[in-house]
Amino acid sequence: MVTQAATPEKVGVGTGLLLCCLRHQSPDESLAVAETALRHRNIVAGLDLAGDETLYTAQPHRAAFDLAHSAGMPCTVHAGEAAGPESMWEAIDILGARRIGHGVRCTSDTALLNRLRTERIALEMCPTSNVQTGAVRNLPGHPAIPLLAAGLPVTISTDTRTTSDTTLQREFDALRHLSGWTSEYEALAQQNAAQASFSPQSE
Can you give the residue ranges of every domain in the chain? 17-196
Residues 132 and 164: beta-carbon distance below 8 Å: yes
> Domain 17-196 class?
alpha beta
Predicted confidence at residue 1, as pLDDT, reads 41
Residue ranges for the chain with pLDDT beneath 50: 1-3
Predicted confidence at residue 203, as pLDDT, reads 64
Which of 9, 29, 53, 81 is the catalytic position? 81
Note if 81 is an active site residue.
Answer: yes
Predicted confidence at residue 44, as pLDDT, reads 97
Predicted confidence at residue 70, as pLDDT, reads 98
The structure's pTM equals: 0.90
**How far apart are alpha carbons 82 and 86 in whole angstroms?**
11
Task: Specify the DSSP class assigned to residue 99.
Answer: E
pLDDT tens digits for 130-173? 999 999 999 999 999 999 999 999 999 999 888 899 999 999 99
**How far apart are alpha carbons 80 and 86 in whole angstroms?**
8
Predicted confidence at residue 8, as pLDDT, reads 60
